[in-house]
Structure 1
């Protein structure tokens, strides 16, 4: 999520300092409500929708009944579904806010190429050095959203009069703050479905009609006799994985990592399979998911490439799928395996390397027989894999 767990953790950390709402003399600074800013070519449409929602939510908290209802929900749940809460609230301000939230949800889904039927994505969470029922009752919380700029030093927050307050991005606020952001994992799950559907429509991800099977007494991919009594297929399974840098600043929350596994399908056409990694949140941390990465029964050769990507805000999954298809459909089977990592990277428009799908790392020519630890081509990710046979029931 873009303003969720890592932002909340950083803002609530005991080691951090106080609220940065001061002038040089230490007095609070509040600016009058600004006129809506025009969206520029370099701005983030998703961040703009989050900021507009944050300001509208702040103004709505002038209604005491709605303020109490939101406080109760936020104290009970780390991430509150804002659309659902406004839809069920009887407070007058919540009903007015519901229209703004619904419009923002539509804008975000369209920007990310998710289309109709996308589940609600906007969430609200609490941050602050002292966040409890008493502190929420003592002062109306500010409302903020994560900035589009990864290097931003301050975060814009709003009060119930619509005034702007600037919070230091590295300091914990004394006053409670509601954070508005997109549920990144929900957006990624919906986006991967879009990629799978559009690539399959182009013939780049259609499941194989026949699954490779190992039968008793036959040789498996390693050349050893198989004693498996049941049919099934060989896979490459992730034992552990880590990334030194997931290209996600702390105030944008956890990373949303997904993999593009590519090779040549059993029909001889380029094949792309998406694998989401919702557990891979923090850089420098090793995870042990035991997750299947490659199903070798779907591939013609015993080699595949893996590209690790991260959804970084305005990812348009439909556009990503179209860009991949446009390049990969030009690659033909020459009777020998051809690495596809470079083709995938070349498919990314230049603008997508700035606050869009970030390239994390890639693994060239991962073989069906590969076991042990591999370091990515960019030396950013480390992957330990094993061969794993999946038996049919």
Structure 2
């Protein structure tokens, strides 16, 4: 758990500025990063609760049952020329700097109501609590700390949704994950790993990239159809998320071996639609571009993004884990695609004990997804995810 700061001290400092803005995070220690983030959010929650009556009109105009969150730097005070917005922008920058994503997004911090069912009572005058995610692995959380508009501390149950309105100081997890995956991809490329980043909205770009990497100078008539595998249905049994964490933000790590050299192939896939457990999703998302992989086989690890991740450091861990396995195998062709499972297992070994605190939760994994092979309602190795995969051949443009 994070170190507790005296409420009077934190409140006093946040009234004139956030206490952590002057510090630059220069450590990759996971616990330090997690503590730093929790303290940033704690300071913001205290400041917002103390100034709630000054901010109430602005917050209520932006948060509704259909729009449960608003960017923190869009909240205005009743006082003209207030320094509040600048403080929020500084807090946002500090958070992005801590996570190593300042190059990839201009803002991520937000204020959201914990559940749509709370909006009515809040809009009708019930005072809210202001909460934030504690530090550390959520399985070790004893309670969620929150503050009322008078600065009093409340201890909320970790998994039971509160019966009073709660405004959560958090990052926009979708924007953070998108930026984090870009940071991971950039770091992998710096390390010599030609990683692809696949999102649900850039399939066409990925197709062109995959084709051009194979036959850059070929005529259209010479280009072969592109073999891919789509995810057509998926259901998550447990997203590992306490109520304060909001929607799940899931991504996939695709592991394989480069077709032209004995090097690992690691691709990242953003899955922004997979918000809640216990629900079927039908994304028809292209997950695998087969020209990138030897033996027509890959593994897939499904992860859920949480606080405490240093994305650049995670990229280093993934690359090193995969490279270490291949260095131990003198002739990979003898073992064939069995090597891929060794790479996957090595990655799973290092992720929980690596640089992550309240680490990206491991959800499930799929071993040996084969090219040109459909899988219907296939459970993951851990039984937490059930998914359907469909081979799809994309023909060249006429």
Cα distance change of structure 1 residues 51 and 230 upon mapping to structure 2, 3 Å threshold: same
Deviations 1:15-70 (A, max 9, x none): xxxxxxxxxxxxxxxxx94434999759543333222211111112242xx32122
5 Å-filtered alignment, 1:176-215, equals 176-206=165-195, 209-211=212-214
Of the two structures, which has the highest relative contact order with CA contacts closer than 8 Å and spacing of 6 or more?
1
Of 98, 101, 119 in structure 2, the residue corresponding to residue 131 of structure 1 is 119
Structure 1: state its 5+ residue gaps.
1-31, 214-227
Q: Which moved more, 1:255-264 or 1:112-121?
A: 112-121
Cα distance change of structure 1 residues 284 and 69 upon mapping to structure 2, 3 Å threshold: closer
Contact 2:298 2:370 (C-alpha < 8 Å) held by counterparts: yes
1:35 aligns with 2:24: no
Q: Which residue of 2 aligns with 1:53?
A: 44
Give the number of aligned pairs. Answer: 342
Q: Which residue of 2 aligns with 1:392?
A: 396
TM, length-normalised to structure 1: 0.76
Cα distance change of structure 1 residues 52 and 334 upon mapping to structure 2, 3 Å threshold: same
Query: What is the distance in 2 between the residues matched to 1:384 and 1:155?
Result: 37
Cα distance change of structure 1 residues 267 and 197 upon mapping to structure 2, 3 Å threshold: farther
Contact 2:178 2:270 (C-alpha < 8 Å) held by counterparts: yes
* Rg larger for: 1
Cα distance change of structure 1 residues 126 and 354 upon mapping to structure 2, 3 Å threshold: closer
Q: Which residue of 2 aligns with 1:118?
A: 105
Cα distance change of structure 1 residues 387 and 68 upon mapping to structure 2, 3 Å threshold: same
Cα distance change of structure 1 residues 251 and 200 upon mapping to structure 2, 3 Å threshold: same
TM, length-normalised to structure 2: 0.75
1:260 aligns with 2:260: no
Q: CA deviation at 1:166?
A: 3.6
Query: What is the distance in 1 between the residues matched to 2:50 and 2:32?
Result: 28
Select the structure that is richer in helix: 2
1:348 aligns with 2:339: no
Q: CA deviation at 1:352?
A: 5.1
Structure 2: state its 5+ residue gaps.
1-5, 12-18, 21-30, 196-208
Contact 1:60 1:93 (C-alpha < 8 Å) held by counterparts: no
Deviations 1:320-376 (A, max 9, x none): 001112222332572233112112123326155651112111111211032123322
Q: CA RMSD in A?
A: 3.3
Deviations 1:249-280 (A, max 9, x none): 23311211110111112332211111111122
Contact 1:80 1:123 (C-alpha < 8 Å) held by counterparts: yes
Q: Which residue of 2 aligns with 1:328?
A: 322
1:250 aligns with 2:238: no
